[in-house]
Every structure is written in C-alpha cells, then in structure tokens.
C-alpha cells in the first residue's frame, strides 16, 4: 500500500505567515487607528510569505500566491460591506491559507 506523505508541516509556515499578515494587518490598523501601520504589517508578512513560497514551490507558485494575497486584501474591502469587517478578513484569510497549503503541498520541492 502506498504511503501518503504528511505535507502539512512543510506547508503550514507560509500559510501561517500569510494569514498572520491579513489578520494582523487589519487588527493593527483597527486597534491603532493608523492604516499605514496595518499596511506595514500586511506588506512585511506578504514579503515573508512570498519568500517562503518561492523557496518551497518556485517562482511561478510564489507569484500566483502573492497575487492571491494582494487580491484577497483588496477583495476584503467590498466583501466587508456585505458581511462585516472581521468576517470578511477571516473569509479571505481562509482562502489564502487554504490555497497556500494546497499549492505548497502539490508543488513543494524536496529538500
């Protein structure tokens, strides 16, 4: 019987970095009242996640996931008008984290 490898430990760090950037960026902006601080958190975490994605899965996957990260940030704004700010942030974060985990698991490089 074929053994299915557990890829989650390798895939989780980038997904957690991206999720932390989206949730943390919004939280910092909301609680400090300084959007630029939230943007800084979002940008630093996004850059960190992009570097992890590139290292783990290559440039093409990193570019696609970084694009999704930026689109999620942008898309959370109109979505917030329909479902509320925090639910919107959590929804787009779940999409990015899931996509990151799947893409990293499917394209991950062996060390």
Encoded tokens for 10 = 């390798």
Provide the residue ranges of all domains of the chain, joining segments of one domain with +. Answer: 11-107
6 three-class SS: coil
Q: What is the pLDDT of residue 3?
A: 63
pLDDT exceeds 80 at position 17 = yes
- Angle 45-68-74 (CA atoms, 0-180°, nearest 5)? 80
User: In the 8-state DSSP scheme, what is residue 111?
Assistant: -
**pLDDT band at residue 107 using 50, 70 and 90 as cut-offs:** confident
Q: What is the pLDDT of residue 25?
A: 97
Cβ atoms of residues 11 and 105 within 8 Å: yes
- pTM, to two decimals: 0.86
Q: What's the mean pLDDT in 77-106?
A: 96
Residues 66, 41: Cα–Cα separation, whole Å? 15
Q: Please write the tens of the pLDDT for every residue from 27-82.
A: 999 999 999 999 999 999 999 999 999 999 999 999 999 999 999 999 999 999 99
Quote the radius of gyration of the chain (alpha carbons, Å).
Answer: 15
Which residues have CB under 8 Å from 66's CB, separation 6+? Answer: 46, 49, 50, 53
- 7, with CB counted inside 10 A (0-12, 13-18, 19+), is middle
């Amino acid at each position: 019987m074929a053994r299915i490898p557990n890829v989650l430990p390798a895939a989780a760090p980038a997904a957690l970095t991206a999720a932390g950037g989206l949730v943390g960026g919004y939280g910092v902006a909301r609680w400090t009242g300084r959007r630029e601080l939230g943007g800084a958190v979002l940008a630093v975490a996004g850059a960190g996640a992009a570097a992890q994605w590139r290292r783990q899965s290559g440039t093409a996957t990193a570019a696609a996931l970084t694009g999704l990260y930026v689109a999620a940030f942008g898309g959370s704004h109109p979505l917030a008008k329909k479902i509320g700010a925090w639910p919107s942030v959590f929804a787009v974060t779940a999409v990015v984290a899931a996509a990151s985990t799947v893409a990293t698991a499917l394209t991950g490089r062996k060390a």
